[in-house]
A and B are shown apart, each in its own frame.
Chain A
Amino acid sequence: MKIISETLILVKRSLIRYTRVPQLLVFSTIQPVMFVILFAYVFGGAIKTSINYVDYLLPGILVQTTLFGAMMTGIGLADDISHGMIDRFRSLPMSRGAVLAGRTISDLLRNVFVIFLMVGVGYIIGYRFEGTFMGALGALFLMLLFGFAFSWISALIGIAVKDVETAQSAGFIWVFPLAFISSIFVPVEGMPKIFRLFAENSPITYTVDAVRRFSVNQPVDYTFWASIIWLAAILITFIPLAVRQFRKIS
């Protein structure tokens, strides 16, 4: 189909960009590495978890990394809009959806790379994945789906604000509270009631908890399915919204 080959052409473009500007990849991993060090060595001693804190922390960091990485989708689209690339694509006889799919899929591929890199960093500080091979695949699948779903939210924001700096700050305004009011860094049990209620139902907590269970070789439970439902709902909502917003660009 036409849209598939168009999407692949644009994925290729983004991947070439990542190989030419490796700084993009390097810088997107420096921040999570800092978080790992900060939490493992500075805050970690004061955080009580049922398992070893590094083993608790790393699945959270992996999800956080894909979450922050998803923000790149909106920033990249805003960059293309402000440089006229999107106008160029819109004047071509190509599918509107391909532009967005090309961007979100290339960000998904980048996430694969970043996840492996961060697992490597985790191994250096003592993290060990104790699950099965299938569990590893399940965790990888869930994290990529998570990153892909949040890429579409980010895409909508990027297209709506059309400007790199605004996309950057508009992205982090909602991502930051979402990341911290979750089980990424600390167990939700210690949070005040309202925060705890929010955290317990957040797609981030479900995803992190499910990945964590894979990591310590516990069987799949409701957290996995709740995460899948959340992510499917996000995709069903935000893909049409982003495509509609894209059509409205003028």
Chain B
Amino acid sequence: MNSDLIQYIQEAKVSGMSDGEIQAELLSVGWNHGDVRQAFLDNISPELENPPIEQSEKIEAVVSVRGLIKHYGSVRAVDGIDFEIPKGSILALLGPNGAGKTTLVRMLGTLITPDSGQALIGGHDVIKSPDDVRKIIGLTGQFSAVDMVLTGRENLVMIGRLCHLSKLEAENRARELLIRFGLSDAADRQVKTYSGGMMRRLDVAASIIAHPEVLFLDEPTTGLDPHGRIELWHIIKELVAKDVTVLLTTQYLDEADHLADQIVVIDKGKIIAKGTSQELKAQVGGDVLELHLTDHSQAHRAAAAIEALGIEKPRIEELEAHIFMPVRGGASVLADAIRRLDQARIDLADIVLRRPTLDDVFLKLTGHVAG
């Protein structure tokens, strides 16, 4: 039923219009918002899901997931997920708590068996040959899986030995990783004396001790301070530069934005969007006008005053007296908005016109804020 729409979008794209422009135009000629969004998804996904043959030969997909499903009782924790990760790239799985991220990672890491669907890691099937998968993956779970009583070095050597490195190899590799992850001073201290960030780095180091081709990181930066997060980001980028393929889950939109080559947004076990950070932001279309009021009781009046300028209805966060509204038209909109707000006698603390963030995308796609 939306084939007209899809055809229109495809033609418009060929003519060089941006997604945001196409979307705005479709809305302005009276198409229903939901249909347009669906058409964009339908239009965008086939390209990403089934890359043309020539392309997939060029870029080797190290992780390939098709129709993966996992039930817990009547709940579909993961409900038909498809994606591919090319070698040496990062895919971020973005979604709120309970979206199914951890379940998905645990299936790919061979810790739980999918109910149906297929997942290939380096060509090995996670259901049929989990042992082969385990030889080429590293997995860092949501909570640090290191022995608190052992020292950092002992932990790494133990994991290395369990991955069948020789004693000497394991010791050398442990030394190398301790230096690289800034843990050499603490190497011979018990892990229980480590800070959260150090423990997390040791955990990641343990996951890569046997040079995995694919690394799964489940919310690697949750609970870290900003400094710790940035350190971990560096480490992840370094790994990818060495051709490691990474799948990480995160609730932080800025993290996905910063690290990922490809972002898959999931909610309630389903993919609701995928693409690069740019592509996802384009789905919001145009810019976002953001108002911060000094008095939250004025929020509704303020929203009414600027409503006519938006390409969508303004969204009010009453508690913090913030208003967000997607707009088109650049700085003139800003001037217009200020004039209207002034006429309505609204007290502004701040007003900004900015590029959409992934927060805006997430909100638009799911109707609720991430996290």
Question: Hey, which bits of chain A sit against chain B, CB under 8 A?
Answer: 2, 5-6, 9-10, 12-13, 16-17, 20-21, 83-85, 87-94, 250
Q: Kindly list chain A residues whose C-beta atoms are within 8 Å of the C-beta of B110.
A: 90-91
Of A5, A17, A87, the most chain B CB neighbours within 10 A belong to A87
A5 CA to B139 CA in the complex, in Å?
A: 22
Q: Mark B8-52, 1 if CB is under 8 A from A, else 0.
A: 000000000000000000000000000000000000000000000
The distance from the CB of A246 to the nearest CB of chain B, in whole angstroms, is 12
CB contacts (< 8 Å) of A92 on chain B: these are: 134, 159, 162-163
With A5-B161, A84-B144, A250-B112 given, name 17 new contacts (CB 8 A).
A13-B158, A20-B149, A20-B150, A83-B145, A84-B145, A87-B141, A87-B145, A88-B146, A90-B110, A90-B111, A91-B134, A91-B139, A92-B162, A92-B163, A93-B135, A250-B106, A250-B113
Judge whether A88 and B131 touch: CB under 8 Å: no
Q: Which residue of B lies closest to A2 (CB)?
A: B164
Q: How distant is the Cα of A21 from the Cα of B192 in the complex, in angstroms? A: 12
Interface residues of B (CB under 8 A from A): 106, 109-113, 131, 134-135, 137-139, 141-150, 154, 158-159, 161-164, 190, 206
A17 touching B149, Cβ below 8 Å: yes
Smallest CB separation, A164 vs chain B (Å): 14
* A93 and B141 form a contact (CB under 8 A): no
Cβ–Cβ < 8 Å partners of A88 in chain B: 139, 141, 145-146, 159, 206
Q: How far is the CB of A12 from chain B (nearest CB, A)?
A: 8
Contacts of A16 in B (CB 8 A): 149-150, 154
- Distance of A52 Cα from B162 Cα, bound (Å): 51
Alpha-carbon distance A84/B111, docked complex (angstroms): 11
List the A residue with the shortest CB-CB distance to B157: A9
Decide: A83 near B162, CB < 8 A? Known: A16-B149, A16-B150.
no
B150 near A13: Cβ-Cβ < 8 Å: yes
CA distance A17 to B146 in the complex (A): 13
Report B-chain residues with C-beta under 8 Å of the C-beta of A6. 162
Q: Is there contact, CB below 8 Å, between A83 and B164?
A: no
Nearest first, the 4 closest Cβ-Cβ pairs linking A and B are A84-B145, A88-B145, A91-B139, A93-B134
B-side contacts of A21, CB under 8 Å: 149
Taking the closest CB of chain B, its distance from the CB of A99, in whole angstroms, is: 9
A-B contact pairs, 17 of them (CB 8 A): A10-B158, A13-B154, A17-B150, A20-B190, A83-B145, A87-B141, A87-B145, A88-B146, A88-B159, A88-B206, A90-B111, A91-B134, A92-B163, A93-B134, A94-B162, A94-B164, A250-B111
A84 vs B150: C-alpha distance in the bound complex, in angstroms? 15
Known contacts A9-B158, A92-B159, A250-B111, A84 near B147 by CB under 8 Å:
no
Whole-angstrom CA separation of A17 from B155 in the bound complex: 12
A15 CB → nearest B CB, Å: 11
Q: Are A17 and B147 in contact (CB under 8 A)?
A: yes
Complex interface: chain A residues within 8 A of B113 (CB): 250
Most buried by A among B113, B164, B206: B164
Interface-central residue, B143, B149, B154, B162, by most chain A CB under 10 Å:
B162
Q: Which residues of A contact B190 (CB under 8 A)?
A: 20
Give the complex CA separation of A88 and B310 in angstroms. Answer: 50
- Please determine whether A93 and B145 come into contact, CB atoms closer than 8 angstroms: no
Q: In the complex, which residues of chain A have a beta carbon less than 8 angstroms from the beta carbon of B137?
A: 91
A93 B163 Cβ-Cβ under 8 A: yes
B141 and A9: CB pair below 8 A?
Answer: no
* CA gap between A89 and B139 in the complex, in Å: 10
* Inter-chain contact A9/B139, CB cutoff 8 Å: no
Q: Which A residue's beta carbon lies closest to that of B72? A: A250
Are A91's CB and B109's CB within 8 A?
A: yes
Query: In chain A, what residue has the closest Cβ to B112?
Result: A250
Are A87 and B150 also in contact (CB < 8 A) when A2-B164, A9-B161, A92-B159 are? no
State the CA gap A233–B128 with chains docked (Å): 34
B142 (CB) vs chain A CBs: closest residue: A84
Q: Are B164 and A93 in contact, CB atoms less than 8 angstroms apart?
A: yes
Closest to A12 in B: B158
A20, A89, A93, A250: which contacts B131 (Cβ < 8 A)?
A: A93
Q: For residue A16, which residue of chain B has the nearest CB?
A: B150
A20 to B151, CA, bound (A): 10
A-side contacts of B139, CB under 8 Å: 87-88, 91
List chain A residues, Cβ under 8 A from B146: 85, 88
Task: Give the CA-CA distance A85 to B109 in the complex, in Å.
Answer: 14
Cβ-neighbour of B145 out of A20, A85, A94 (below 8 A): A85
Residues of chain B lying within 8 A (CB to CB) of residue A91: 109-111, 134, 137-139
CB distance from A159 to the nearest CB of B (A): 14
Most buried by B among A2, A6, A13: A13
How far, in angstroms, from A20 to B192 measured CA to CA in the complex?
Answer: 12
Q: Which of A5, A10, A94 has the most CB of B within 10 A?
A: A94
- Which residues on B sit within 8 Å (CB–CB) of A10? 158, 162
Q: Are A83 and B143 in touch, CB under 8 angstroms? A: yes
Q: B112: which A residues are within 8 A, CB to CB?
A: 250
B129 to chain A, nearest CB (A): 11
- Bound: A95/B35 CA distance, A: 52
Closest residue of B by beta carbon distance from A6: B162
Nearest residue, chain B, Cβ from A250 = B112
Is A84 a contact of B134 with CB atoms below 8 Å? no
Most buried by B among A87, A90, A91: A91
B163 to chain A, nearest CB (A): 6
Verify B164–A85 contact, CB threshold 8 A: no
Question: Which chain B positions have C-beta within 8 A of A12?
Answer: 158
Shortest CB distance B177–A (Å): 16
State A92–B147 Cα separation when bound (angstroms).
Answer: 16
CA of A20 to CA of B150, assembled, Å? 8
A91 to chain B, nearest CB (A): 4
